[in-house]
């Protein structure tokens, strides 16, 4: 049934007024907000925004973390026919200028003093930005900027207006149409300015409902909302599907308490990019290395059992009586306590998306009884394109097309998608819109892949990133940088990887070590170090990383398609790649081209055969100051392997 997000809210409030809609942790205590509470709050904020001059069709920026009052503000804006634009709370001020000016934003709702300061800093570059509303008043008592006011004051004014105009708010909701624009999400902007992806209520609700049907989601689910609301993945799971299904969304106290909150909430429906799952596994392995020998031996033994039979068990395959008993013992002694420690004891469905996940990482979670699956989608497709059925979760695919989705593969290997969730347009960018949306409604994903014999979609890499080795023993071989990078990042000691090789005779990579994992490894070996830069250049660390690289090369050698993508040389960077330094997007994707330009001397040194190279890099600190980090980096060769011929 076509509808809008505000109508879904009012439906839940009418049918289940006392049921919890959201929980928020404040001062260590979980506070529940019922559907009736949320509807009342949204009405008061909506009336307050009306008094502040928010008009139908106007854009409104929302910047902050996952907070019930910020979600209520987005609903209130949509109820008035306005269009909320969530922006990343960790973006620097300069990154907010283009979205605000491009969308002619006049009114912004922000979480706290940090976000107020950010917008005040860029106000002279955003001439239309007249009104700033803040949720958390701490630190803002003496601010006297024009147009600055608190959300509490807006709610109070809205409450008075609602009492004297009792039919106003429902009247505004009734004006809404399913084809109206519901929200705009700005892309990462890996090349040039970000693009505003325009989605209607129908786009987002259709995909949210299709995903819910696929996994049989209900109002009984519990979700932890901890990723940036500006990322459409989090927005779909904790906003669109929340309103479609009526389940409970839990908001952590702050970023530092997420791990604790995860254990307290025990979500049944969980979503995270591979980086989060990598971090959780790394923390587990660090703790196990610090455990006593008996616990370590038991852990590794039962993990061996889990690796052998766990995935088949999750996929409903027979594993035999003896293996079932052995797995059950492992579940009692290792897997169950481990799931509980991770906060996944109640997880019924867990998804990872955003980029490919390493096969060993994927297998680890499924082997211990966590129903981790992959999905495929993007901002432009309202996330849900392909999902994996519970009994068909595989590391090398991203699932099957779900209801309402058609997929075809272009002659150049590009995946084309048609569904009700496709973007309406890129805002004020008809040229870019025409490039990705064909006249007959097919969306060009820019991803290279194919449909396998079982009907699952396999993604190789970005079309523009898939290249060829030129010259040398592997002349003409396919090179897929993201595939190589993801295989390297499976190892707990490697946090980030950037691979180069297109148009060159060999593949070289620049790596970041995981400071926690590598630091723990060094401490257990009594290896002293004085910070990240010092640890990264230790010869012992280089040997450790070299072993990881060569294991990846051995795996690649048996891949007929990508055997030529083995890594010949590598280096460990002297600093961690950082979004504030422009090296990563706000969704933590590497900006490979930018990094190549920034570290051109290092790329040249890798390919010229040098054994060391001096580099000095300008960095930005958290307080906004700039500084520099310099070091003489080691460059190391890695063993490559002859391609293994497939058996006839």
Taking only the tens place, the pLDDT of each residue in 90-144 is: 998 999 999 999 999 999 999 999 999 999 999 999 999 999 999 999 999 899 9
List the domains of the chain with CATH numbers: 5-272 (3.40.50.12780), 467-637 (3.30.300.30)
pLDDT reading at 646 higher than 60:
no
pLDDT band at 648 (very low <50, low <70, confident <90, very high): very low
Average pLDDT over residues 473-501: 88
- Asked if 284 contacts 342 with a C-beta cutoff of 8 angstroms, the reply is yes
Q: For residues 353 and 496, which has the higher predicted lDDT (pLDDT)?
A: 496
DSSP secondary structure code for residue 437 in this structure:
B
How far is it between the farthest Cα atoms of the chain?
A: 82
What is the 3 state secondary structure string of 6-44?
Answer: HHHHHHHHHHCCCCEEEEEEECCEEEEEEHHHHHHHHHH
Task: Kindly state the average pLDDT of the residues 223-242.
Answer: 94
Q: How confident is the model at residue 315 (pLDDT cuts 50, 70, 90)?
A: confident
Partner residues linked to 631 by β-bridges: 615
Confidence of residue 566 (pLDDT cuts 50, 70, 90): very high
- Of 120, 121, 115, the closest CA to residue 135 belongs to 115
Distance CA 319, CA 220 (A): 32
- Over residues 374-395, mean pLDDT: 94
pLDDT at 647 over 50: no
* Distance between CA atoms of residues 533 and 510, nearest Å: 14
**DSSP-derived 3-state class of residue 464:** coil
pLDDT band at 255 (very low <50, low <70, confident <90, very high): confident
* CA separation, residue 526 to residues 63, 516, 521, 529 (Å): 45, 15, 9, 10
pLDDT of residue 623: 65
Report residue 353's pLDDT band, with 50, 70 and 90 as the boundaries.
confident
- Reported as a single tens digit per residue, the pLDDT across 596-616 is 999 999 999 999 999 999 999
Q: Distance of CA 509 to CAs 239, 607, 634, Å? A: 39, 10, 13
Would you state the structure tokens that stand for residue 412, as one six-digit string?
A: 């150049």
Query: Does the pLDDT of residue 61 top 60, yes or no?
Result: yes
510-544 pLDDT tens trace: 999 999 889 999 998 999 999 999 999 999 999 99
pLDDT above 90: residue 474:
no
Lowest mean pLDDT among 209-213, 370-374, 551-555, 618-622: 618-622
Task: Write out pLDDT tens, residues 388-429.
Answer: 999 999 888 899 999 999 999 998 889 999 999 999 999 999
Range name among 276-285, 372-381, 636-645 with the lowest pLDDT average: 276-285
Q: What percent of the chain has pLDDT over 70?
A: 98
């Amino acid at each position: 049934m076509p509808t809008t997000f505000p109508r879904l809210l009012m439906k839940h409030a009418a049918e289940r007024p006392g049921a919890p809609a959201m929980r928020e942790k404040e001062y260590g205590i979980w506070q529940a907000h019922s559907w009736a509470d949320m509807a009342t709050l949204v009405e008061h904020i909506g009336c307050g925004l009306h008094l502040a001059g928010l008009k139908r069709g106007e854009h409104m920026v929302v910047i902050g973390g996952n907070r019930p009052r910020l979600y209520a503000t987005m609903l209130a804006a949509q109820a008035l026919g306005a269009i909320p634009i969530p922006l990343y709370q960790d973006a620097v001020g300069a990154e907010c200028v283009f979205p605000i000016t491009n969308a002619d934003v006049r009114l912004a709702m922000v979480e706290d003093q940090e976000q107020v300061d950010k917008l005040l800093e860029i106000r002279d570059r955003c001439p239309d930005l007249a009104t700033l509303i803040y949720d958390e008043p701490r630190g803002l008592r003496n601010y006297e900027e024009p147009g600055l006011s608190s959300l509490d004051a807006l709610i109070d004014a809205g409450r008075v207006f609602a009492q004297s105009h009792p039919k106003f708010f429902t009247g505004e909701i009734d004006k809404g149409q399913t084809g109206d624009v519901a929200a705009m999400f700005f892309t990462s902007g890996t090349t040039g300015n970000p693009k505003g992806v325009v989605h209607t209520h129908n786009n987002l609700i259709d995909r949210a409902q299709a995903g819910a049907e696929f996994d049989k989601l209900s109002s009984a689910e519990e979700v932890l909302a901890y990723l940036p609301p500006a990322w459409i993945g989090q927005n779909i799971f904790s906003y669109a599907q929340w309103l479609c299904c009526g389940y409970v969304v839990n908001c952590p106290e702050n970023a530092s308490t997420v791990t604790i909150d995860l254990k307290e909430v025990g979500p049944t429906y969980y979503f995270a990019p591979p980086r989060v799952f990598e971090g959780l596994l790394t923390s587990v392995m660090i703790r196990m290395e610090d455990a006593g020998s008996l616990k370590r031996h038991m852990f590794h033994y039962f993990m061996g059992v889990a690796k052998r039979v766990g995935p088949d068990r999750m996929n409903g395959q027979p594993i035999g009586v003896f293996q079932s008993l052995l797995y059950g013992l492992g579940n009692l002694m290792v897997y169950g306590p481990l799931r509980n420690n991770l906060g996944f004891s109640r997880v019924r469905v867990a998804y990872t998306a955003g980029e490919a996940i390493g096969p060993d990482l994927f297998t680890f979670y499924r082997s211990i009884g966590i129903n981790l699956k992959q999905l495929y989608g993007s901002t432009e497709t309202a996330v849900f394109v392909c999902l994996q059925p519970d009994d068909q979760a595989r590391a090398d695919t991203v699932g099957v097309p779900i209801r309402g989705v058609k997929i075809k593969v272009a002659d150049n290997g590009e995946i084309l998608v048609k569904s009700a969730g496709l973007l309406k347009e890129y805002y004020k960018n008809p040229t870019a819109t025409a490039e990705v949306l064909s006249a007959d409604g097919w969306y060009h994903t820019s991803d290279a892949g194919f449909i396998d014999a079982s009907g699952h979609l396999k993604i190789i890499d970005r079309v523009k990133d898939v290249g060829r080795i030129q010259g040398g023993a592997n002349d003409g071989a396919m090179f897929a940088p993201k595939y190589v990078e993801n295989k390297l990042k499976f190892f707990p000691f490697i946090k980030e990887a950037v691979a180069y090789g297109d148009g060159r005779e060999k593949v070289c990579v620049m790596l970041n070590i995981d400071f926690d994992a590598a630091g723990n490894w060094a401490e257990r070996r009594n290896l002293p170090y004085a910070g990240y830069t010092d640890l990264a250049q230790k010869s012992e660390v280089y040997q450790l990383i070299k072993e990881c690289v060569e294991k990846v090369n051995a795996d690649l050698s048996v891949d007929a398609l990508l055997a030529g993508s083995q890594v010949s040389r590598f280096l460990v960077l002297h600093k961690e790649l950082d979004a504030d330094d422009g090296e990563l997007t706000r969704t933590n994707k590497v900006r490979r081209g930018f990094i190549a330009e920034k570290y051109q001397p290092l790329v040249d040194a890798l390919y010229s055969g040098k054994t060391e190279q001096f580099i000095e890099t300008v960095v930005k600190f958290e307080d906004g100051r700039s500084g520099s980090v310099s070091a003489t980096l080691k460059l190391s060769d890695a063993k490559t392997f002859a391609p293994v011929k497939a058996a006839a």
